[in-house]
Amino acid sequence: MNYDLAMTLGELQAQIYWLHDAEEFTELANAAAGIYTKLGYSQEQSETAGKLISEAYQLADDADLANQAGDYDREMQFYDQVKDKLIAVETILNYQNSIAIHQMQWWLHFRHKQKLQIIVHLFLQHFKAVGFIHLFTAIKLTYYLVEIGRVHKQRDIETTKCNAVKYWAELLKTKPPQYPYLG
């Protein structure tokens, strides 16, 4: 396992969260594209995936605004669009197992502060990507992402990066046929 690669991927992942908070969506797309380039995808695949991930983040923000306005139907319409963007990322990256629905679901439950559902969908997202043979890894990856979210909310940049590096170090050990990370 290449620790330098895990460091780079972890830093890019942590950067995405802060770029999202700052609503710097072009830079977010570039950071997401950087992750996929480092994972070995072509420049075109990476840039397209990054753009779609950035758009998914923007739609999730729109969904949150609809939720705050009490418009459940509109919120779900936005989350359907988020799912569609993430499915398009999977298609571009030639993923075999769809994990987009779980990514979208944990984003939705995160915004609604539904902790158990967040954990369930994070786990399913990772389990579907790494498989039963890496069950304990899927559990660890879920834990690391929960921790990333927790410390990010506390605005602890260094611990967020540290957890993201641990996430990628653990994930890269499995050499998965597809990566469970979609942004």
The model carries a pTM of 0.93
- d(CA 15, CA 7) in angstroms, rounded, equals 12
Q: Is residue 13 part of a domain?
A: yes
Cα end-to-end span (Å), the chain: 22
1 has a pLDDT exceeding 60? no
Measured from the Cβ of residue 153, the count of other Cβ atoms closer than 10 Å reads 11
Mean pLDDT of the chain: 94
Q: Is residue 182 part of a domain?
A: no
How many structural domains are present in the chain? 1
Q: Is residue 183 part of a domain?
A: no
- d(CA 70, CA 85) in angstroms, rounded, equals 24
- d(CA 56, CA 80) in angstroms, rounded, equals 10
Q: Is residue 153 part of a domain?
A: yes
Q: Is residue 181 part of a domain?
A: no
**Domain extent at residue 79:** 3-174
Contact call for residues 182 and 53 (beta carbons, < 8 A)? yes
Q: Is residue 33 part of a domain?
A: yes
Q: Is residue 179 part of a domain?
A: no
- Per residue in 77-99, pLDDT tens? 999 999 999 999 999 999 988 99
- d(CA 149, CA 29) in angstroms, rounded, equals 19
State residue 152's pLDDT score. Answer: 72
Burial label, 5 (beta-carbon count in 10 A; 0-12, 13-18, 19+)? middle
Q: Is residue 140 part of a domain?
A: yes
Q: What is the mean pLDDT of residues 129-155?
A: 90
Q: How confident is the model at residue 154 (pLDDT cuts 50, 70, 90)?
A: confident
47 has a pLDDT exceeding 70? yes
